[in-house]
Amino acid sequence: MRNRPTPTSIIVGASLLAMSLAACGSTEEAVDDATGTASSVVEEVDAGEEMSDAGDEMTDLSEQLTAADLEAAIGDADVSTLFTVLGIAGFDDVADADAFTLFAPNDSAFAALDQELLTELLADPDRLRDILQDHLLDEVVMAGDLPSEGTVTANGGLELQFDLSGDQPTVNGIPILRTDVTVGDRGVVHVIDGLLLEE
């Protein structure tokens, strides 16, 4: 059964996301809009609901991957906003995968996102999760194995096309900044400077 994010995690995550975007240069008005939208999501929810302790989720990678495991593997790579978004949308698509490749947007990617769209996404975890699906593959693909021709279909259905001809590799025109960050023996992360969105 898929674990869905609690309303409490949505409001806390949205607030953290707003602060992260503010640090990346987003406007104060955008931050207020994001936080206000997230607050409306939980107006009718019992205030007694609590977030589970992240420390209780830590298990061996062979059993259950956690966001903390993923964050530890990536390290300091300017992707803190992504983990806030995963907290809102849910982490199961990565945690339950036998193998995965994650194209991880950095903080600048979220800061550059249209603020109206951001506000909508914060109030719609299912839609946010759909977007994250377009950053996932259900197999481990190292940088050296990325195709130079044709496309690869992401889990969410988005066609990914890679340009590996120059000094700066790209996916759908977005620079790939860091490659081959392995997560145990189950996954690999490539950090990108943008979000993979349907045009």
pLDDT digits (tens, 9 = 90+) for 151-174: 999 999 999 999 999 899 999 999
Over 60: is that where the pLDDT of 45 sits? no
Over 60: is that where the pLDDT of 5 sits? no
Q: How far apart are CA 87 and CA 90, in angstroms?
A: 5
pLDDT digits (tens, 9 = 90+) for 11-22: 445 544 554 555
Record the tokens describing residue 88, joined without a space. Answer: 């809102």
pTM: 0.71
pLDDT digits (tens, 9 = 90+) for 63-84: 568 888 888 898 876 898 898 8
User: CATH number for the 7-192 domain, one of 2.30.180.10, 1.10.240.10, 3.40.50.150, 3.90.700.10?
Assistant: 2.30.180.10
The greatest distance separating any two alpha carbons of the chain, rounded to the nearest whole angstrom, comes to: 54
Q: What share of the chain is helix, strand, coil (3-state, %, to 5)?
A: 40, 15, 40
Q: How far apart are CA 128 and CA 123, in angstroms?
A: 9
CA 198 remoteness from chain centre: 16
Confidence of residue 121 (pLDDT cuts 50, 70, 90): confident
pLDDT for the residue 33: 52
pLDDT for the residue 38: 46
Q: How far apart are CA 65 and CA 92, in angstroms?
A: 9
The mean pLDDT value for 37-47 works out to 43
**110 close to 70: Cβ distance less than 8 angstroms:** no
**191 close to 79: Cβ distance less than 8 angstroms:** yes
Q: Which amino acid is at 158?
A: L
Give SS3 for 192: strand
Counting every residue, how long is the chain? 199
Q: How far apart are CA 50 and CA 198, in angstroms?
A: 35
**In the chain, where are the structural domains located?**
7-192
Highest mean pLDDT of the ranges 26-40, 44-58, 173-187: 173-187
Q: Which amino acid is at 193?
A: D
